Amino acid sequence: MSDTTDRYPEHDALVELIRAVRATGYQFVTPTPATHARVNQRPGNEWARNLRDVLGWSRPFHSKVVPPAIFGLMQQAKVVSPCEDGWRCTIRISSAHGQLYVHSAYPTETADAVFFGPDSYRYIDAVRDLLSRRSNVSRAFDIGCGAGPGALTVALARPTAEVWACDINPVAVQMAYANATAAGAKNLTCATAGMLSGASGRFDVITANPPYLNDSLGRAYRHGGGRFGEQLALTMLDQGIDRLADGGSMLLYTGTAIVDGQDLLLEDVKKLLNRKNREIKWKYRETDPDVFGEELDEPAYQDVERIAIVHVEVTT
């Protein structure tokens, strides 16, 4: 399988843009969409005053607030468009553990939007924790890579490993590839593919951070299918286990609906693992008790008391 080099003509300009932004000392931690909206609605935040406002807060801007060289790279990468009396950038750039990640601008409303936010930071930490307990990683796969935080974390931590990052969203793959190239990760292959179809064979480490909500708009980066958004996580876990090498580990970072005090995903995971014909060790832990509380106002969640973040770790 090939990477996205031949399919994305603006790749080089986007990589140079990331590197130029890094050279300025840029840092931006991307918050939840609800926080983003609140901050941008404050008086005085209508227009960008600096590069963080442009590339972090996704505010419209006048070209004079951006260094000329960076504005030129934005134009070459085709990530700016005219709006009102100025410009708006179609990407955001977030910082995490010394790396920069390009992803979609706020608000992420389009079907092919690529999200990076609080879940991404928690996911990176979970992957780092897994790697701290595994010294032998020769092949790794990140399912549904998005902007690439999981895959890039593995690739940089294990530079001799063969690492795959795949997603059904070609925009996500393009962004992951640019992020990996800018970070100097030469051992990471990015490809447009569903589940684990992008590569053959077995893997020492498989990671996944699927969408886990029942999104009324059906946006790919949020909607996980099933009653409460759990289906995609279960499918990834099911297929991932079958592709683990002996002694391999899979990390699934996802969310679960709690109904009348019961974790519905946990029951589904138990049933799935009982059907497997492999000897499996597994751990399941809740790591954040309450996220996306605003979703509880949606009709699909009328019986849900909270949405929790869980880590499922499986070792064969």
- Residue with more model confidence, 2 or 84: 84
Q: Are residues 87 and 136 in the same domain?
A: no
Q: Which of 272, 254, 3, 250 is nearest to 141 (CA)?
A: 250
Q: Are residues 23 and 95 in the same domain?
A: yes
CB–CB of 31/38 below 8 Å? no
The answer to the question of residue 52 being in a domain is: yes
Q: Are residues 67 and 213 in the same domain?
A: no
Q: Which of 82, 78, 42 is nearest to 62 (CA)?
A: 82
Q: Which domain holds residue 88?
A: 5-104
Q: Which of 195, 1, 215, 231 is nearest to 113 (CA)?
A: 215
The answer to the question of residue 112 being in a domain is: no
The CA distance from 268 to 272, in Å, is: 6
Q: What is the mean pLDDT of residues 41-62?
A: 98
What local confidence, expressed as pLDDT, does residue 8 receive? 79
What local confidence, expressed as pLDDT, does residue 187 receive? 97
Percent of the residues in the chain that have a pLDDT greater than 90, as a whole number = 89
Q: Are residues 39 and 134 in the same domain?
A: no
Query: What is the per-residue pLDDT across 158-207, written as a single tens digit (0 to 9) for each?
Result: 999 999 999 999 999 999 999 999 999 999 999 999 999 989 999 999 99
CB–CB of 84/121 below 8 Å? no
| pLDDT of 26 higher than 70 | yes
- Which residue(s) pair with 225 in the sheet? none
The answer to the question of residue 231 being in a domain is: yes
What local confidence, expressed as pLDDT, does residue 9 receive? 85
Q: Are residues 46 and 143 in the same domain?
A: no
Q: Are residues 126 and 99 in the same domain?
A: no
The answer to the question of residue 292 being in a domain is: yes
Q: What is the mean pLDDT of residues 295-313?
A: 95
What local confidence, expressed as pLDDT, does residue 2 receive? 42
The answer to the question of residue 109 being in a domain is: no
Of 104, 138, 172, the position where a domain reaches its end is 104
| pLDDT of 4 higher than 80 | no
Residue with tokens 């530079």, as numbered in its chain: 159
What local confidence, expressed as pLDDT, does residue 216 receive? 80
The answer to the question of residue 122 being in a domain is: yes
Cβ within 8 Å of residue 11, ≥6 positions away = 4, 5, 174, 177, 178, 181
Q: Are residues 148 and 9 in the same domain?
A: no
Query: What is the per-residue pLDDT across 250-279, written as a single tens digit (0 to 9) for each?
Result: 999 999 999 999 999 999 999 999 999 889
The answer to the question of residue 113 being in a domain is: no
Q: Are residues 125 and 95 in the same domain?
A: no
What local confidence, expressed as pLDDT, does residue 101 receive? 98
Query: What is the per-residue pLDDT across 120-137, written as a single tens digit (0 to 9) for each?
Result: 999 999 999 999 999 899
Alpha helix stretches (DSSP H) within the chain:
11-23, 33-40, 51-55, 68-76, 118-132, 149-157, 170-183, 231-242, 264-275
Q: Are residues 100 and 126 in the same domain?
A: no
The answer to the question of residue 270 being in a domain is: yes
DSSP string, 229-258: S-HHHHHHHHHHHHTEEEEEEEEEEEEEEE
| pLDDT of 20 higher than 70 | yes
The values of phi and psi at residue 255, to 5°, are -115, 160
Q: What is the mean pLDDT of residues 147-153?
A: 98
Of 104, 127, 150, the position where a domain reaches its end is 104
Quick one: pLDDT band at residue 224, thresholds 50, 70, 90? confident
What local confidence, expressed as pLDDT, does residue 111 receive? 86
Number of domains in the chain: 2
The CA distance from 144 to 240, in Å, is: 12
Q: What is the CATH number of the domain that holds 311?
A: 3.40.50.150
CB–CB of 190/165 below 8 Å? yes
Q: Are residues 141 and 266 in the same domain?
A: yes
| pLDDT of 34 higher than 60 | yes
Residue with tokens 């958004």, as numbered in its chain: 229
Quick one: pLDDT band at residue 37, thresholds 50, 70, 90? very high
Q: What is the mean pLDDT of residues 303-313?
A: 97
Q: Are residues 34 and 146 in the same domain?
A: no
Of 104, 129, 164, the position where a domain reaches its end is 104
Q: What is the mean pLDDT of residues 27-48?
A: 97
| pLDDT of 78 higher than 50 | yes
The values of phi and psi at residue 92, to 5°, are -115, 160
| pLDDT of 5 higher than 80 | no
Quick one: pLDDT band at residue 1, thresholds 50, 70, 90? very low
What local confidence, expressed as pLDDT, does residue 7 receive? 57
Amino acid letter, residue 55:
L
Q: Are residues 166 and 238 in the same domain?
A: yes
